[in-house]
Chain A
Amino acid sequence: MIAAFFERLNDTQGLNFSIFYDAFDRSRFLTGLWTTTYICVVSILASLAIGLIGVWVAGSGSRLGRLVVRIYVQFFRNTPPLVQLSFFYFAVGSMLPTVSDGFGGQSPLVSGTGWAIIAFSLFAGAFNVEIFRAGIEAVPETMVEAAESLGYTRFQLWRQIVLPLAFRICLPALNNNLVNLVKTTTLAYAIGVPELLYAASQIWSEMFNVREMMNVLLVVYVLLVAVLVWVMHRWEKAMRIPGYMP
């Protein structure tokens, strides 16, 4: 039904939405969508882990640890993500050994998708460190002191008191950063990762339907972000601290 409608649209109006009736284009587009989702989800999880580790190291007594985290955060926040990605993919990637792919050929140790995930995780992770730090600083010292006087160890204190509070406080800022991360995944196009933008560009260069694909692409990305924002807002509401108004 849908396929027939879009086929007719192409014949009568010249609007060629090939992804809706052509099985090959559709599968390419969906694969791209899947790759984008995959990169997003893995990078989000990894960047959250990096943020937590970073803020833990920065908050520990070690001076060297603090310095390393600070250099990492400032460097990744003040340089273009596209150049970071090129740096990882071309410069670091070329220095790593290749592995045999089992068919007699050699393939790089980390694929383009792998480098994209690594670069985006480090990029978003640098922002997360800062966001978590601000959230943790918003937890009053009295609360920490009270917990300490009750005999909490540092790990227990973090897990049961500081992090649950800090996490709720920094959730809005975290949302912004995660939305940014989803938008940043388009950069993977530059190193030839078959994500949504790449798939769309392949389709429009073969079917000559730049205008249609471009609009589809824009709508899909806005929807993707809208879904993320909606889910996070629901979560924010469910997790909100009674009586706390930022």
Chain B
Amino acid sequence: MKAGATDLPVLKPFRAAPIAPSGLAAPALLSAGLVAGTAIVFAASLAVAQASGPAARDGAVTILWRWAPLIFQGFLFNLLISFLSMALGTAVGVLFGIGQVSPSAALRKPAWAATQFFRNAPWLVLLFYAMFLLPFEIRLGPVTIAFPAWIKAIIGLALPVAANVSEIVRGGIRSIPSGQWESAEALAFTRRQTMWMIILPQAFKRMIPPWMNLYAILTMATTLISVVGIQDGLTVTRAALVAESRPELMLPMYLLLLLMFFAYCYPIARLTMALERRFNVKG
């Protein structure tokens, strides 16, 4: 609390969950409505495509059914990329986050600068950066490590993830009251012990909701790899549309892909909100 500010309850606390279902009305009823609404839009577009297509050729439903497994495979590849980038990004991000609260300025300032830089650069530009500027193989003496495009894409997506994880870790550590640090010091814990045994276990559960939120954002960002020429769900969808060359199919086909992402990300969002609420109560 800054000097000069009162602690009178002038206004209620501001709670905007980054990606979380809103409390606009009764959740159960509206969730059903939400699913029904999207299903209706999808079915309507499909019906229009079915009706307007040429009678002599396959119907829209048949074509969609034929391509759906392939699109789903592409979507699964998106998920694979998202797992791997999240793992890499989290590992690097935690180190940077701890670096950001380090007592030594030589460690703190570079960690802060790197975090801010990668957090504020667009994801697509960072992805381009990784794709074009990483070598396709690294020679370490006799060993040659190949860098195929998808590994470079994982690294490119992990850069902004690491920066965001770093901020989450910093925020989580900062949210632990300083009394914890002081009592640990009084009990003769070293700084490393305090961090690993006292602060991080407590901060951990506060980091989980924003971390999951970041994961949902990353999953949606994995479609960017189609821009740099890797075969993912979006690429397959486009290829399918080109192969069929039926313009009336575009609407349902893209909606199908959108629905796949929605079906994956929406439960994550609900879970994030549920966890957030639970951890809030325990404080």
Contact = CB atoms under 8 A, between A and B. Distances in A.
Interface of A: 58, 63, 66-67, 69-71, 73-75, 77-84, 86-87, 90-92, 94-95, 129-131, 133-135, 137-140, 165, 169-170, 173, 179, 182-187, 189-190, 197, 201, 210-211, 214, 217-218, 221-222, 225-226, 229, 241, 243-246
A246 B10 contact: no
A197 B11 contact: no
A54 to B, nearest CB: 10
B215 interface: no
B234 A221 contact: no
A139 B11 contact: yes
Given A66-B25, A71-B33, A241-B11, A79 B124 contact: no
B227 A221 contact: no
26 contacts: A63-B25, A67-B30, A70-B30, A70-B34, A75-B262, A78-B216, A79-B261, A86-B238, A87-B254, A90-B241, A92-B251, A94-B247, A130-B16, A130-B17, A133-B24, A135-B16, A137-B15, A138-B13, A173-B14, A186-B124, A189-B124, A189-B227, A197-B122, A218-B121, A221-B125, A225-B120
Contact of A83 (B5, B25, B133, B223): B223
A74 B15 CA distance: 17
A221 B223 contact: no
Interface string B1-41: 11001111011111111011110110000100110011000
Contacts of B6: 243
A222 B121 contact: yes
Contacts of B241: 90
A9 B257 CA distance: 48
B22 A70 contact: yes
A245 B14 contact: no
Identify the 9 closest CB pairs spanning chains A and B, nearest first. A134-B16, A91-B250, A80-B220, A183-B122, A78-B265, A87-B254, A186-B124, A186-B122, A225-B120
Given A71-B37, A81-B220, A246 B21 contact: no
A74 B223 contact: no
B224 interface: yes
Interface of B: 1-2, 5-8, 10-17, 19-22, 24-25, 30, 33-34, 37-38, 117, 120-126, 128-129, 132-133, 216, 219-224, 226-227, 234, 238, 241, 247, 250-251, 253-255, 257-258, 261-262, 265-266, 269
B133 A243 contact: no
A227 B227 CA distance: 28
A169 B13 CA distance: 9
B121 to A, nearest CB: 6
Contacts of B12: 137-140
A87 B257 CA distance: 10
Most buried by A among B234, B238, B250: B250
Contacts of B10: 241, 243-244
A7 B20 CA distance: 52
Nearest to B247: A94
A226 B120 contact: yes
A210 B30 contact: no
A108 to B, nearest CB: 13
A133 B261 contact: no
Given A134-B16, A217-B125, A140 B266 contact: no
A245 B68 CA distance: 51
A242 to B, nearest CB: 8
